[in-house]
Each structure stands twice: as C-alpha cells, then as structure tokens.
Amino acid sequence: MKSLREVDPKVYGIIKKEEKRQENNLELIASENFTSSAVLEAQGSCLTNKYAEGYSGRRWYDGCEFMDDIETLAIKRAKKIFGGEHVNVQPHSGSQANMAVYFAALDVGDRILALDLACGGHLTHGHRHNFSGRLYDVACYGLDNKTEMIDYDEVLKLARSHKPKMILAGASAYSRKIDFKKFRKIADEVGAYLFVDMAHVAGLVVAGLYPSPVPYAEFVTSTTHKTLRGPRSGFIICKNKFAKRIDMQVFPGIQGGPLMHVVAAKAVAFKEACSAAFKKYQHQVVKNAKTLADNLEKKGLRIVSGGTDTHLFLVDLQNRNISGADAAICLDRADITVNKNLIPFDSTSATITSGIRLGTAAITTRGMKEKEMEKIAEFIDCVLSSYGDDKICNRIKREVLKLTNKFPLHNK
C-alpha cells in the first residue's frame, strides 16, 4: 500500500506542519489535549470502512460482529469509569450528544434554563444561533456579580419563575466546582429534568477531583477529547428509563452509521482513564492550573472568581488595556496558544472580549509541572506587558521553543 506521503504530498505536508506547530507551541486552549498513540492508532484503523447502523446485535448491515464487540467494550468501560445506568457511545460530538438529549426529553418550544454563554455556558445550551436556541424557549441564569460563581438561590428563584422542563448544568468557561446535588434539588422542586454537560471536566470526574453528576442527573453528556484525552467525539449517560429514547434519537433520529473507528478510539481512551497514571495526570493538571493562575495573579493579572478548582480559568485583561482578541493574537505570535473569552459581565462583544481562557490539560500531558507553570506565567505577562513589541515577542518565542523542546510530544 502506498503511503500518504506518496499519494498526497500536499495533505501530508499540511499534516506535518500541524504536527510541528503542536510540537513547538505551548497549547493552553482549555478544550484541547494530546491523545495517546494507541488512541490515534485505533482512530486510524480499518474500522473506518464499516457501516454499522443500529446497535449491538441489532444492525442493519451484516458483517458487524466485530463492531458489536467494540461498541459493547466501549460501553462497558464507560460504565466502569463513570457508573450510570445506560451509555450510548455513538454521538459523533458533544453537540450531537446534547441534541439527542434535547430530542429525547423535550418537545420543540419547551423551556430550558441554562448558564448564560456570556457567563461561561456553551453554544449548545441555548445560544440563539444554535439549534438549541432556535428550537427551545431559553431562560438563563448568570453568576453572582461579586463572587463570579453560580448563585444557587438565584437559580432556584429563576427556576420557580420560569418553570423550565429542563435545567442544564455544565459549562465551557467556568473554573469552579458545580454542586450537582443542589441542582438536583432545584430541578425536583420545579419538576424539571436535570441535564449535565460535563465535557470539560470528565477527566477530573474520573479521577475523583470533581463531583460526578451521574448520580444526580437524568442525562449526562460529554465530549471525549478534553480532560478525558480521547478522540474528538461524544457520549451520553442516562437513567435506564430514558435508554430507548436516547438510543432512538442518536440513531436513527440524528445520525446514520456510527464512526466505529472513533468508537474504538473511545474504548481505548476509557481504558487509559482507568489507570493510576491517568489519575496522577489529572491531579497534576489541577495543580498546574492553580500554579499558573497564582503566578499570573502575582504579576497583577486578575483571575475571574479569584482562582480555579479545575483545569481552566479566565484572565480578566481590563487592567492591562488590551482586549482578549488582541491578547490571543500577540500570544500566538510568541507560540503561546490561547483563546479570547468573554468574562462575566463583559461589556465587549464575543469577538473582542475582555479576557482569555487558559487550560493546563495539554501542557500537563507533555509532562510539565509547577516549575514550568511559573515560567509560562512569566512568558504570558511579558508578552502582554510589551504588546506590539516584536523584539520581545520573538525572544519569548525562542524561550517557548526551548521549553517545548524539553518536553517532546511523542503522542504519549
């Protein structure tokens, strides 16, 4: 068989460039990580050739005996690490997992109550341009303006007045622990379903560093590629009484044939997540996030909510007179990759923003620890304080390269 390089040198060349970018840059985007070679191998396997619409033992096409094996294994492993009564591992992404939950539990026009995107929520939790905001009547809760944390009394008040059919918990840019037990109580009081999207924190949940939503929510969804460090994909955990509805919504409701090579890669990631090394890694991720946040604070940068309990946090740049968009661009020039992010009560737009979001899952996979976090805080502070100074930016870029060279990325 001919190699990719021989068949398509253009695509090969682009992939190689991206490989080098990942190798040389400091990856601080909170939703990204580096999978193991085993996950990549499963994802690049011949399983991509097979159609397997349906579920184990109930497929539309023949020749699915090994697809049944792989899907059953993935489900068994997901249940082992997260618990839960029923698991569907077919969603291609977090967005599709969320869509399946909405379709299984709600009718078009039903009301949901979710964290405002501007306060750290997610696009699929009711943004007006997303299917969730277009199909459902969305009410939002925000954050307390002093603590910048969820105010559960306020959520209860809003739940009582809006009477949603579903309450959503989970976020894309919220650095604090969420009290799922309290959310359950609120949902029970108003007779709503509780749906938790744990995409960002799934790896921390496995390690026992973040409360598990599984005992409390009717529906839990997650992606598999953030702290969980698997392939880019999603899955759903639900109570048994919703199993049939969830499965029907994933297939044939939303998707056709599952991506069985990705299901296999999810199975591998779930196995890796069972190891002691994975737990140790998650502990280091959280330690690194705290250390990075503390060191940036020492440099005079304000950390939203005063810190973090997780792998991520937001930096408020208002006292530096630089927008999140400009900060992300100048950091990228120094090979430090972050994303601009709205901070709570931001007065700018989502394309400008007053903050950046930083996460430590990817750099911790490379083996970086507290000492490196101190250095990275220095790099960030230096680039932000000398905004527009190419000389300093290039110096930091060289420093970044020295650091990333010390922690090679061999797809561990």
- Annotated catalytic residues are 51, 53, 197, 223, 226, 232
Axis-axis angle for helices 65-82, 260-273 (nearest 10)? 30
Between CA 264 and CA 41 the distance in angstroms is 10
Residues 331 to 390 in contact with ligand DSN, rule: CB under 6 A: none
Residues 121 to 140 in contact with ligand DSN, rule: CB under 6 A: 122
Compare residues 97 and 214 and give the one whose CB is closer to ligand DSN.
Answer: 97
Min dist CB 131 to ligand DSN, Å, is: 14
Two tokens, residue 173: 């840019």
Between CA 205 and CA 199 the distance in angstroms is 10
Q: What type of residue is 355?
A: G
Compare residues 296 and 358 and give the one whose CB is closer to ligand DSN.
Answer: 358
Which residues are bridge partners to 341 per DSSP?
A: 355
**Residue written as token pair 């997650």:** 222
User: What single DSSP character describes residue 240?
Assistant: G
Cis ω for the linkage preceding 91 (within 30 of 0): no
Compare residues 94 and 324 and give the one whose CB is closer to ligand DSN.
Answer: 94
Q: Name the closest residue to ligand DSN (Cβ).
A: 31
Which residues are bridge partners to 168 per DSSP?
A: 195
**CB-neighbour burial class of residue 51 (10 A; exposed 0-12, middle 13-18, buried 19+):** middle
Compare residues 172 and 233 and give the one whose CB is closer to ligand DSN.
Answer: 172
Between CA 302 and CA 384 the distance in angstroms is 13
**Residue written as token pair 């630089």:** 322
Compare residues 226 and 271 and give the one whose CB is closer to ligand DSN.
Answer: 226
* Neighbour count for residue 411 (Cβ, 10 Å): 14
Min dist CB 10 to ligand DSN, Å, is: 28
Is 270 in contact with 80 (CB distance < 8 Å)? yes
Q: What x/- string results for residues 29 through 58 when contact with ligand DSN is judged by CB under 6 A?
A: --x---------------------------
Axis-axis angle for helices 324-333, 390-406 (nearest 10)? 60
Strands 336-337 and 26-27: parallel
CA angle 314, 320, 321 (to 5 degrees): 110
Min dist CB 172 to ligand DSN, Å, is: 4
Q: Which of 43, 90, 172, 354 binds ligand DSN (CB under 6 A)?
A: 172
Min dist CB 124 to ligand DSN, Å, is: 8
Min dist CB 357 to ligand DSN, Å, is: 8
Min dist CB 271 to ligand DSN, Å, is: 24
Residues 96 to 115 in contact with ligand DSN, rule: CB under 6 A: none
**CB-neighbour burial class of residue 79 (10 A; exposed 0-12, middle 13-18, buried 19+):** middle
Residues 200 to 219 in contact with ligand DSN, rule: CB under 6 A: none
First to last CA, the chain: 27
Q: What x/- string results for residues 72 through 101 when contact with ligand DSN is judged by CB under 6 A?
A: ----------------------x-------
Compare residues 211 and 359 and give the one whose CB is closer to ligand DSN.
Answer: 359
Compare residues 184 and 311 and give the one whose CB is closer to ligand DSN.
Answer: 311
- DSSP assignment string, 42-58: HHTSGGGG----EETTE
Where does this chain bind ligand DSN (CB under 6 A)?
31, 94, 122, 172
